[in-house]
Homo-oligomer: A and B are copies of this chain.
């Protein structure tokens, strides 16, 4: 019997544990457009506003050891959720890893790495690993990733780990989809930490000093502590955990720190606040992406061509031309 190909049937199969169907649903989400919209609508009705799912972001510069650390966390969580071999069931915490690497066309990290990585969990049906580096989705990864998380939660995946590289514009937007964000640094990054306090503080809920068996771990910890001292707000202070992902050392402590942050968010009521704010930003992004579609439908190529001519000839500058474009489109503000 051929597989059903409509979004609803695929979604149902995915929710029933069909991993191939889940992969297809996520591809639909990545592509964006009406298909994605339909899938997200279905997911939302099953698990409104995230429901019981939790999302942890793991971010850091290339080579910091994010993938290895993520794998260790997956192994830990799966072992904790399943102390002895048990059949799949309700108290079996399913885990998905979304490896988001906007720069992967260069590094090949996400694409090549994950094929290898998946093998470590190949026999564990409770683990799902997926790379996202698409540019297809209107609104970009910042819209596609929250949609993918929503689908995963609605399909019964309780924990989603999002792995991102760096803290550029796109990465910060993507990282903001996580409830708890772990920033991975390495020994010897003192200068980088000093130069980038604002960016780190903006996103870090937990710091992991990975490769902590190398020289300089103590100095890096001191630099981070100093940075946190100077900016203490009385709220959550990001704990600093030393890890050696290659050996697994410190993974337990890291997971405990993530759990502490989750508890802090829950007991303080911050979780709801943070998720509401996130949703507000998301609505804005979706609306802007829709405006763009509408704009491109309304403003034809000919209009662009005529305006570009006038800019090339020096008759108007690009901002004046953009104003003309808008004139045909936007309701007057006053």
Produce 1/0 per residue, A264-293, CB < 8 A to B.
000000000001100110111011101110
Chain B residues within an 8 Å CB radius of A288: 288, 291-292, 295
Contact residues of A: prevailing secondary structure? helix
B residues near A196, Cβ cutoff 8 Å: 104-106, 108, 111
Residues in B with CB closer than 8 Å to A283 are 304, 307-308, 311, 318, 321-322, 325
Q: What residues on B are CB-neighbors of A172 within 8 Å?
A: 135
Check B167 against A105 for contact (C-beta < 8 Å): yes
A103-B167, A291-B329, A298-B331 given. 7 additional CB < 8 A pairs?
Answer: A61-B103, A102-B170, A103-B103, A284-B304, A287-B322, A288-B295, A290-B323
Contact mask for chain A residues 309-322; partner B; CB cutoff 8 A; 1 contact, 0 none: 00111100111111
A263 at the interface (CB under 8 A from B): no
Most buried by B among A44, A165, A169: A169
Interchain CB contact (< 8 A) of A322 among B48, B290, B314: B290
A37 close to B (CB within 8 Å): yes
Is residue A294 contacting chain B, with contact meaning CB distance below 8 A?
yes
Q: Is the CB of B295 within 8 A of A291?
A: yes
In this assembly, does A141 line the interface, its C-beta being within 8 Å of a C-beta of chain B? Answer: yes
Task: Determine if A112 and B165 form an interchain contact, defined as CB atoms under 8 angstroms apart.
Answer: no
Q: Do B279 and A312 touch (CB < 8 A)?
A: yes
Cβ contacts under 8 Å, A141 to chain B: 169
Check: A1 CB closer than 8 A to any chain B CB.
no
Q: Is A253 an interface residue (CB 8 A)?
A: no
Q: Mark A119-142, 1 if CB is under 8 A from B, else 0.
A: 000000000000000010000110
Interface string of A85-122 (1 = CB under 8 A from B): 00000000000000001111111100110000000000
Whether the Cβ atoms of A311 and B111 lie closer than 8 Å is no
Contact yes or no, B103 A165, CB < 8 A: yes
A75 within 8 A of B: no
Query: A192 touches which one: B102, B112, B165, B305 (CB < 8 A)?
Result: B112
Chain B contacts for A107, CB-based, 8 A: 61, 166, 192
Residues of B contacting A320 in the complex (Cβ-Cβ under 8 angstroms): 41
Whether a CB of chain B sits under 8 angstroms from the CB of A242 is no
Nearest-neighbor residue (CB-CB) of A46 within chain B: B314
- Chain B residue with minimal CB distance to A278? B308
Scan residues 53-111 of chain A and give those whose CB is less than 8 A from a CB of chain B.
Answer: 60-62, 101-108, 111
Nearest CB of chain B from residue A263's CB, rounded to whole Å: 22
> Within the assembled complex, what's the spacing in Å between the Cα atoms of A317 and B298?
26
Known: A37-B319, A61-B62, A287-B326. A192 touches B106 (CB 8 A): yes
